[in-house]
Amino acid sequence: MATKLWQKSFVPTDEIDRFTVGRDRELDVLLAESDVLGSLAHTQMLEHIGLLTSDELTAIHRELRSILADIRQGCFKIEDDVEDVHSEVELLLTRRLGDVGKKIHSGRSRNDQVLVDLKLWTRRQLRDIVELVKTLADTLLAQSEAYKDILMPGYTHLQVAMPSSFGLWLGAYAESLADDMLFLQAAYRMVNRNPLGSAAGYGSSFPIDRQMTTALLGFESMNYNVVYAQMGRGKTERNVAFALATVAGTMAKLAFDACLFNSQNFAFLKLPDDCTTGSSIMPHKKNPDVFELIRAKCNKLQALPQQVTLIMNNLPSGYFRDLQIIKEVFLPAFEEMKDCLRMTNYIIERIQPNRQILDDTRYDLMFSVEEVNRRAADGVPFRDAYRQVGLEIEAGAFRPQKEIHHTHAGSIGNLCNSEIAERLNQLLQGFPFQQVEDAEKKLCEG
Ligand code: ARG
């Protein structure tokens, strides 16, 4: 039977153990590195306030760093009779150091341990996401510039509407990602506050130095109020999920556009052959499965805020075991998001626009507004010009003039891609990645 950190005179049955541990033994492994980081900071602080001697701290840090090396090499696992990552790390220390290992839990609880683990882990994941979003936005902007002179039909109601261009289409998604970056930044800043020291959710009678652990872990500041720090569990995940969902919304729309435009009936673009899959029966097929899977995964990701909300909905303040279940939907979401971002970037880099689309007469009518505007510019009142052209179309007499001159900001001839790039760059500067990296490195290397 399992030994628990909290074990006293009775033991839970194996069935109860299986049910309460749930998927922690598998999922908590993802948090292991963060758990050790939290312990490195916490123990350094314990020594500072006199709850560990400097020799004890040296021994603890030596062993924590050796556990960290094992984790990084992929040789860390949570043993079958151990509840979670927090118990496993403490057990390893106690096996190696005896009583000294048992001292590291002074002034904290697994409740603030899991809080800090999730914050450190999510902070790292968000950095990856931000960097991948930036890469994709840069690719979209580069391709937008490369293909800015190739016109394509624009649609409303899926009816041919007005001239658009590849430059406009690709740049739109870059600007969408720039707005999504605002959500990522808000989420990052909320994550980048230190909950450690809130212990079970009500602080501790030890004179712990929370400012010190905040600085050691590279957090921007702490979650001051210990009750609020605990309330951040679930709230943080939900808000991060909203940021992921807004990126996913952009990606799902892009994926659908690309599938549609790649269809033979549209043939606006060709996806690279190596990004399509074949059919077991139809020898001619080149299916856009990659973008279809991106679309589905990104639609699924947009359910994440709701999933988190429903798990934590109506909980009062204070810790509840309900919160453990959030990890099951939250942790795997990041790999999926990153996969989708990498795949999309790969395809967009190789996408091949069709330069001949407008030779097809079915798109002639999208130049009707150009003609109306030309006449209006020559002095015909707009409504009269509109009617004249409308009647010509009805009589089959409309002949399109395909030379177009759109010059206002954000239009075909003036994409403002450098403004969009500038917005992205400015946002990126608002993430303190380097400070965080330096702090973590210092903690890990001593
Ligand atoms: N596995 C737990 C979780 O994710 C860790 C915290 C356990 N705390 C407790 N009071 N049972 O929430």
Which of 267-271, 295-299, 325-329 is predicted with the least confidence, judged by mean pLDDT? 267-271
> For 102, which DSSP code?
G
Which residue bears the tokens 């960097």? 131
Q: For the residues 146-166, what does the mean pLDDT come to?
A: 97
First to last CA, the chain: 38
CA of 200, closest atom in ligand 1: 10
Separation between Cα atoms, residue 230 and residue 97, nearest integer Å: 31
Distance 324 CA to ligand 1 centre (A): 6
Contact between 369 and 162 (Cβ < 8 Å) = yes
Is residue 330 within 6 Å of ligand 1 at its C-beta? Answer: no
Phi then psi dihedrals of residue 104, to 5 deg: -70, -10
Query: Domains, the chain, ranges and CATH?
Result: 14-106 (1.10.275.10), 111-359 (1.20.200.10), 360-411 (no CATH)
Distance 253 CA to ligand 1 centre (A): 38
Contact between 351 and 142 (Cβ < 8 Å) = no
The closest alpha carbon to 85, from 349, 261, 324, 270, belongs to: 324
Separation between Cα atoms, residue 34 and residue 116, nearest integer Å: 8
| Cα 293 from chain centroid (whole Å) | 17
Distance 118 CA to ligand 1 centre (A): 12
Separation between Cα atoms, residue 195 and residue 119, nearest integer Å: 8
- With 80 as the cut, is the pLDDT of residue 87 above it? yes
* DSSP secondary structure string for all residues of 83-101: -SHHHHHHHHHHHHHGGGG
Is residue 117 within 6 Å of ligand 1 at its C-beta? Answer: no
| Per-residue pLDDT at 347 | 97
The closest alpha carbon to 24, from 98, 109, 94, 81, belongs to: 81
| Per-residue pLDDT at 242 | 98
Distance 199 CA to ligand 1 centre (A): 12
The pLDDT tens digits of the residues spanning 310-365 come to: 999 999 999 999 999 999 999 999 999 999 999 999 999 999 999 999 999 999 99
Q: Is 432 exposed, middle or buried (0-12, 13-18, 19+ CB in 10 A)?
A: middle
| Per-residue pLDDT at 3 | 66
Q: For the residues 153-163, what does the mean pLDDT come to?
A: 96
More confident of the two residues 437 and 12: 437
Torsion, Cα 59 60 66 67, to 10 degrees, reads: 160
Q: Which of 114, 122, 315, 328 maximizes ligand 1 atoms within 8 Å of its Cβ, making it the mutation to test the pocket?
A: 114
The pLDDT tens digits of the residues spanning 388-432 come to: 999 999 999 999 999 999 999 999 999 999 999 999 999 999 999
CA of 323, closest atom in ligand 1: 12
Distance 110 CA to ligand 1 centre (A): 6
Distance 101 CA to ligand 1 centre (A): 20
Separation between Cα atoms, residue 446 and residue 442, nearest integer Å: 6
Q: How confident is the model at residue 1 (pLDDT cuts 50, 70, 90)?
A: very low
The pLDDT tens digits of the residues spanning 183-233 come to: 999 999 999 999 999 999 999 999 999 999 999 999 999 999 999 999 999
**Percentage of the chain surpassing pLDDT 70?**
99
What value does the mean pLDDT of the chain take?
96
Q: For the residues 106-133, what does the mean pLDDT come to?
A: 97
Q: How confident is the model at residue 8 (pLDDT cuts 50, 70, 90)?
A: confident
Q: Is 431 left (phi over 0), alpha (psi -120 to 50) or beta?
A: beta
Q: Is the dihedral of CA 234, 235, 240, 243 positive or negative?
A: positive
Amino acid at 415: L
Separation between Cα atoms, residue 251 and residue 254, nearest integer Å: 5
